[in-house]
A and B are shown apart, each in its own frame.
Chain A
């Protein structure tokens, strides 16, 4: 498959076939992560800038490991570094970054639309690692990949519930788009104060009662609750939130047998999710972390070899249907 996209900004850009192609690539890369020597030369000589204006150890580490396992050079630019500090005009940041000639930029930013803003100004690939409340496409892809490892690629007939602060969650927005693209039914459950405007027009069923929402679901995604929502007047207090919207065994008993539990992390145990549930057998929370590295390896591979594929223009084209794409560059070091 010729990867047609310069940037990964939002799940809406991707067709279902492209999403599944990412999963297939991720499956191949996941295997590398289990080898004694976890490194291949695939992206040798490529440079990836990790530009995390909003701090996130977890996602940044995941991208960093993914890049290094493919032999790309990764450079971290923290928000606090002198020239690219938070508060600098983003356009000037873009120009500075452009002058460093990276092959890809992974951006985490506290403002919705920041990745699109940079993508329009940079010639390199921009991968959105979370922008404001808008989108977190790589999280959605790794969530989908995690579920596809259990369910297979066809999610028709499955029901996924997302519970928590939907309004301020880029993960929720991207998950809804991805799960529905793959044929799953999606439900969301939150107090009205944490639902986004216009949610009735989303392709989801909306619940305010978690027990009702859990009836007959196959997977539950718990979202992290930002503790400042209470101060913003959106919640009375955390104890009440935990009692009403914290996922517990009593809710899951209404779900379908084998129901899976997910959380994008980092968790507030006892707030969004009962502490024991996070460690239970049907919890995929740690699988998500592993899947994160594999999925990001797949994405870096696709975006960083995109030009090469275009230049060759033949050999690796049109292989979207192939479950085992012939990638000579996947050979071991």
Chain B
């Protein structure tokens, strides 16, 4: 038996100091920390937490078409630094990812700019041009490498077309991800409809704009006996519908983002466009419901909905500002805040950010079992950092975290046993 190529020494895995032995890109085993071995490269972890490489099932990388906001190179750099070994990139590019040419372009750009990873998995458009009129060529997209389909950003209003899309996608074995939003109820809104929107004089988006569509999708999924994945859930009513559906055995899965677990509509006070996101930040009660749902597994996974924008686009009055928070750089630190607050355990993080998204989208996952892909990060939870435009690797500096000090830094990242970076001083 040949020796390991790489040994990551002195790292914490489930409260125990271990070393991770890696061989030909896969995990060989977790060994006692000081088990001698003279072969292979040695990397000293300095007691940092060992976590699997994270999977972000919902990002917007903006290339092709909006490279001034973000491009595949900068987006994957932010993903790498943020601890993500794989990302699913949404289709609302220009041109829209509704053809094999665009899918291939995205994958080629990723391979060219980040040959070691993070891995980019394109999500194909559900309808041509995301217009919601005709099905996109889903088989062509699947063949070109798309791992799921979604009209994210421009949800399909027609229940009939949406049904047909679910049916057609199921033949290809791929899941449909729906951005749940009734476009009429949500029209023109720039924040949650409620007390603050009333005071600020802004048009609000009612929670039913989301939950009505959640209900539609659940009922369709049950009727068709097909899976559906619900994107960025933001409110209690949606959570209750999903809990009900799961109890009935409906094949529904759901995601939410760190920002819906931490912040409320109060963040918009002062017309803070950095907190303008779709769906909007809701209320304390919604945050409580989502936290519980994430703990219980009613919400299956966490995603960033990484939505970078240029500064000048956010430096406008609230109504004009585009929706979105740049999330890849800060996601793990924000998640760690939830660990510190006792909302989640480190094991929950591994499930929410790695095992379950991997299972949902049929991607390889590292559980540190022999033969698992050696995608891992070393995370120092005691290291604090201040969020500034300079500390963010994404081109999008649009986050309400600007100026805040967050806990935890990724100090090393390996994908398939190859080290992307190792900042030993930081550990």
Q: Taking beta carbons and an 8 Å cutoff, which residues of A are in contact with B? A: 89-91, 109, 111-114, 116-117, 131-135, 167, 170, 173, 196-199, 201-202
Let me know if B201 and A116 touch, CB within 8 A.
Answer: no
Q: A-B contact count, CB below 8 Å?
A: 63
| Closest chain A residue, CB of each to CB of B313 | A89
- Smallest beta-carbon distance A109→chain B, Å: 8
The listed residue (B194, B312, B316, B318) touching A112 by CB distance below 8 A is: B318
Q: Taking beta carbons and an 8 Å cutoff, which residues of B are in contact with A? A: 193-202, 204, 206, 270-271, 312, 315-320
Let me know if A198 and B270 touch, CB within 8 A.
Answer: no
Q: Which residues of A contact B315 (CB under 8 A)?
A: 91
Whether A114 touches B317, Cβ cut-off 8 Å, given contacts A133-B202, A173-B199, A196-B198, is yes
Q: Which residues of A contact B200 (CB under 8 A)?
A: 112-113, 134
Whether A198 touches B319, Cβ cut-off 8 Å, given contacts A117-B271, A132-B201, is no
| Closest chain A residue, CB of each to CB of B320 | A111
The listed residue (A89, A116, A132, A197) touching B195 by CB distance below 8 A is: A197
- Smallest beta-carbon distance B128→chain A, Å: 31
Whether A112 touches B270, Cβ cut-off 8 Å, given contacts A198-B196, A198-B199, is no
Let me know if A112 and B198 touch, CB within 8 A.
Answer: no
CA A135 – CA B202 in complex, angstroms? 11
| Closest chain A residue, CB of each to CB of B192 | A197
Let me know if A90 and B196 touch, CB within 8 A.
Answer: no
CA A91 – CA B311 in complex, angstroms? 11
Q: Which residues of B contact A167 (CB under 8 A)?
A: 198
Q: Which residues of B contact A201 (CB under 8 A)?
A: 195
CA A93 – CA B201 in complex, angstroms? 22
Let me know if A113 and B271 touch, CB within 8 A.
Answer: yes
Q: Provide 6 A-B residue pairs closer than 8 Å at the C-beta atoms, listed in order of the A residue.
A: A111-B317, A112-B271, A113-B271, A116-B270, A196-B198, A197-B194
- Smallest beta-carbon distance A35→chain B, Å: 39
The listed residue (A113, A135, A170, A197) touching B317 by CB distance below 8 A is: A113
Let me know if B271 and A90 touch, CB within 8 A.
Answer: no
In this complex, the member of A112, A117, A134, A198 whose beta carbon has the largest number of chain B beta carbons within 10 angstroms is A112
CA A44 – CA B195 in complex, angstroms? 44
Let me know if B319 and A112 touch, CB within 8 A.
Answer: yes
Let me know if B196 and A134 touch, CB within 8 A.
Answer: no
Let me know if A112 and B195 touch, CB within 8 A.
Answer: no
CA A202 – CA B270 in complex, angstroms? 19
Let me know if B316 and A90 touch, CB within 8 A.
Answer: yes
- Smallest beta-carbon distance B214→chain A, Å: 21
- Smallest beta-carbon distance A192→chain B, Å: 13
| Closest chain A residue, CB of each to CB of B311 | A91
Closest 4 CB pairs of A and B: A133-B201, A134-B201, A113-B271, A198-B195
In this complex, the member of B193, B312, B318 whose beta carbon has the largest number of chain A beta carbons within 10 angstroms is B318
Q: Which residues of B contact A133 (CB under 8 A)?
A: 201-202
| Closest chain B residue, CB of each to CB of A116 | B271
- Smallest beta-carbon distance B223→chain A, Å: 31
CA A275 – CA B94 in complex, angstroms? 56
CA A116 – CA B201 in complex, angstroms? 13
Q: Which residues of B contact A170 (CB under 8 A)?
A: 201
